[in-house]
Amino acid sequence: MKKNIFIGAVITAAVSGAAVAGASNDQANEGHKEISAYQALQTAFTHVEGFVKEVELSFEGDENHYEVEIESSADEYEFHVDAASGEVVWQDSSTTSEEDDRDEADDSSLTEIENAASFEEYETISNQLSTENLTFFMGTDNSGNRVMFLLDENGEKRYKTIFVKYNSYLKIIDLDGGREVYYGKLK
């Protein structure tokens, strides 16, 4: 009988201790709440405006941070935003004109799309643009996104489309001047 009481007392003490430890951990972590990917993106937007290329949670050692990539008309930016504090811990930028030069020099790697109408974003693209004299070429098609270029009859890139597959957002960019033609979620 003594043994059962003692075990019961140990279990009660262990549960009570865990509750106290849990409460003190909650109090200790109260100032270190993790931020969401959306909050990390908003932090990056306080530094630069542009088009979001990627937001990814990265685990390195004991530290977690969001890698946020944003493309503006002139530069590409990468930010590392601490997942606990929400502060920018690292940032870098590169000129997109260098990438544009590589894209134009590497047009041979683009593949003409025979049946662009089979893609779910095609209807929205054709509603936004006069595609009659344009030819669709594939830039990228992976599990995350599809990037297409629309070339005119002279083989010049006129438009770039970026379709994000997981949330069905489409962006159409006029490459002559860099203006956004369309940005929205497909229905």
Radius of gyration (Cα) for the chain, nearest Å? 25
Give DSSP secondary structure letters for 23-68. HHHHHHHGGGPPPPHHHHHHHHHTT--SEEEEEEEEEETTEEEEEE
pLDDT of residue 79: 86
Query: At residue 128, what are phi and psi to the nearest 5 degrees?
Result: -90, -25
Q: What is the pTM of this model?
A: 0.47
pLDDT of residue 152: 94
CA angle 156, 150, 71 (to 5 degrees): 95
pLDDT of residue 109: 72
pLDDT of residue 93: 72
pLDDT of residue 33: 52
pLDDT of residue 158: 94
Residues of the chain with confidence (pLDDT) below 50 = 1-32, 97-105
- pLDDT tens digit string along 82-96? 898 888 888 777 765
| Residue 155, C-beta contacts closer than 8 angstroms, at least 6 positions apart | 107
Show the tokens assigned to 24. 């003190």
Show the tokens assigned to 40. 């990390």
